[in-house]
């Protein structure tokens, strides 16, 4: 059965389509190929790439002889069969949600501890090289909606995103000390990950316009251990402060007593005490004893150091 030959190709896909393939495969030499505004059009024949064009005007007449690929398309014939004509929307911007399916290992050398983190967020990307994108996703489907492209990149790049996060954490040596403040640095970390991922996205013919981190997720069991550890530190600190206050109070009270003792010592009159051991002994003259201001021990007046604690008198 002879196939129908067309002399006109028009975009009839959905407006939100990223890649749309025309169902027309046989065209005449004088066929007009109308471009959808802001689209690239790619020509293949029997699976081989022949050429592409784009134009920002509403329509584009493709049978201009200055287009070298048209000679390849028709080979001097009036018609060309087994053609494939793809429209690729080069201006659509897509947004994808991402999340780390596998948690990322984090090691803190200061504490010699291991933990894991997860993360999720979103990113926006747009097409900057239709041919690269086409070559990557051509086998996925003939027509690609925005949802299909999102699914494709979500599957293809999830590992790359995970590796980028691990790379940034390793580079900055983020550890346990940073857990409390890491959420305050999500924007800064997202920018670093954006720089790491840009070359990866370009390999697919798309530009990574924005990269966002919604939140980091730490290991719950690990966080509970950290909380218990912090509670223990706080309780020990409270106990230490309480004991310190008791020691300060005792020291202050002792100083008050010592000052009172010194004051008493100074105010007491000096006396002579005569002790008779026997009639032959001479009278022994002793002076009033002095109290140690450190431990309170009574010492002879002649002592230079306390007989109990050796403190200077």
Residue 187: pLDDT band by 50, 70, 90 thresholds?
confident
State how far the Cα of 92 lies from the Cα of 102, in Å rounded to an integer.
Answer: 30
Whether the pLDDT of residue 234 is over 70: the answer is yes
pLDDT at 68: 57
- Between CA 95 and CA 124 the distance in angstroms is 4
Rounded to the nearest angstrom, the gap between the alpha carbon of residue 242 and the centroid of all alpha carbons in its chain is 40
CA atoms within 13 A on the CB side of 133: 26
Q: Is residue 218 a contact partner of residue 119, using CB atoms and an 8 Å limit?
A: no
pLDDT in tens, 115-168: 788 889 999 998 888 888 888 876 555 677 788 888 888 888 888 888 888 888
Mean pLDDT, to the nearest integer, of 223-234?
73
| Token digits of residue 293 | 């201001």
What average pLDDT does the structure give for the chain? 76
Name the more confident of 208 and 135: 208
Burial 114-148 (b: 16+ CB within 10 A, else e): ebebbbebebebebbbbeebbebbbeeeebbbbeb
With vertex at residue 47, the alpha carbon angle to CA 45 and CA 51, rounded to the nearest 5 degrees, is 55
Residue 137 contacts residue 144 (beta carbons within 8 Å)? yes
Residue tagged 């803190």 (tokens): 108
Reported confidence tier of residue 61, pLDDT bands at 50, 70, 90: very low
Distance in angstroms (rounded) separating the CA atoms of residues 5 and 35: 19
CA–CA distances in Å: residue 42 to residues 45, 58, 59, 111: 10, 17, 15, 57
Q: Is domain 93-218 annotated with CATH 3.30.479.30? A: yes
Closest C-alpha among 155, 161, 55, 153 to residue 100: 161
Rounded Cα distance, 96 and 155, in Å: 11
The highest-confidence range among 39-53, 173-187, 293-307, by mean pLDDT, is 293-307
- 3-state SS, the chain, equals CCCCCEEEECCCCCCCCCEEECCCCCEEEEEEECCCCCEEEEEEECCEEEEEEECCCCCCCCCCCCCHHHHHHHCCCCEECCEEEEEEECCCEEEEEEECCCCEEEEECCCCEEEEEEEEEEEEEEECCHHHHHHHHCCCCCCECHHHHHHHHHHHHHHHHHHHHHHHHHHHCCCHHHCCCHHHHHHHHHHHHHHHHHHHHHCCCEEEEEEEEEEEEECHHHHHHHHHHHHHHHHHHHHHHHHHHHHHHHHHHHHHHHHHHHHHHHHCCCCCEEECCCCCCCCEEECCCEECCCCCCEECCCCCECCCCCCEC
Tell me the pLDDT band of 280, cut-offs 50, 70 and 90.
Answer: very low
Instruction: Give domain limits for the chain.
Output: 6-89, 93-218, 270-313
pLDDT in the model for residue 198:
92
């Amino acid at each position: 059965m002879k196939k129908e030959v067309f002399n006109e190709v028009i975009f009839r896909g959905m407006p939100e389509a990223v890649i749309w393939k025309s169902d027309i495969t046989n065209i005449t030499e004088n066929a007009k190929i109308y471009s959808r505004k802001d689209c690239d059009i790619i020509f293949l024949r029997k699976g081989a790439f022949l050429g592409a064009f784009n134009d920002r005007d509403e329509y584009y007449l493709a049978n201009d002889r200055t287009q070298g690929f048209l000679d390849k398309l028709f080979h001097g014939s009036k018609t060309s069969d087994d053609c494939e004509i793809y429209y690729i929307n080069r201006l659509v911007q897509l947004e994808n949600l991402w999340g780390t399916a596998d948690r990322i290992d984090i090691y803190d050398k200061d504490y010699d501890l291991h933990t894991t983190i997860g993360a999720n967020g979103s990113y926006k990307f747009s097409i900057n090289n239709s041919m690269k994108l086409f070559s990557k996703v051509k086998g996925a489907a003939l027509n690609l909606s925005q949802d299909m492209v999102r699914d494709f990149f979500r599957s293809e790049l999830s590992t790359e995103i995970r590796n980028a996060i691990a790379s940034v954490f390793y580079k900055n040596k983020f550890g346990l000390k940073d857990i409390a403040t890491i959420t305050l640095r999500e924007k800064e970390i997202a920018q670093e990950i954006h720089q790491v991922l840009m070359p990866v996205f370009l390999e697919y013919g798309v530009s990574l316009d924005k990269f966002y981190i919604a939140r980091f997720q730490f290991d719950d069991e690990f966080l509970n251990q950290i909380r218990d550890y912090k509670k223990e530190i706080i309780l020990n600190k409270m106990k230490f402060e309480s004991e310190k206050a008791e020691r300060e109070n005792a020291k202050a009270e002792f100083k008050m007593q010592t000052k009172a003792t010194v004051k008493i010592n100074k105010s007491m009159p000096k006396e002579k005490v005569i002790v008779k051991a026997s009639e032959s002994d001479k009278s022994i003259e002793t002076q009033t004893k002095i109290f140690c201001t450190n431990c309170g021990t009574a010492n002879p007046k002649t002592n230079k150091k306390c007989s109990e604690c050796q403190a200077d008198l």
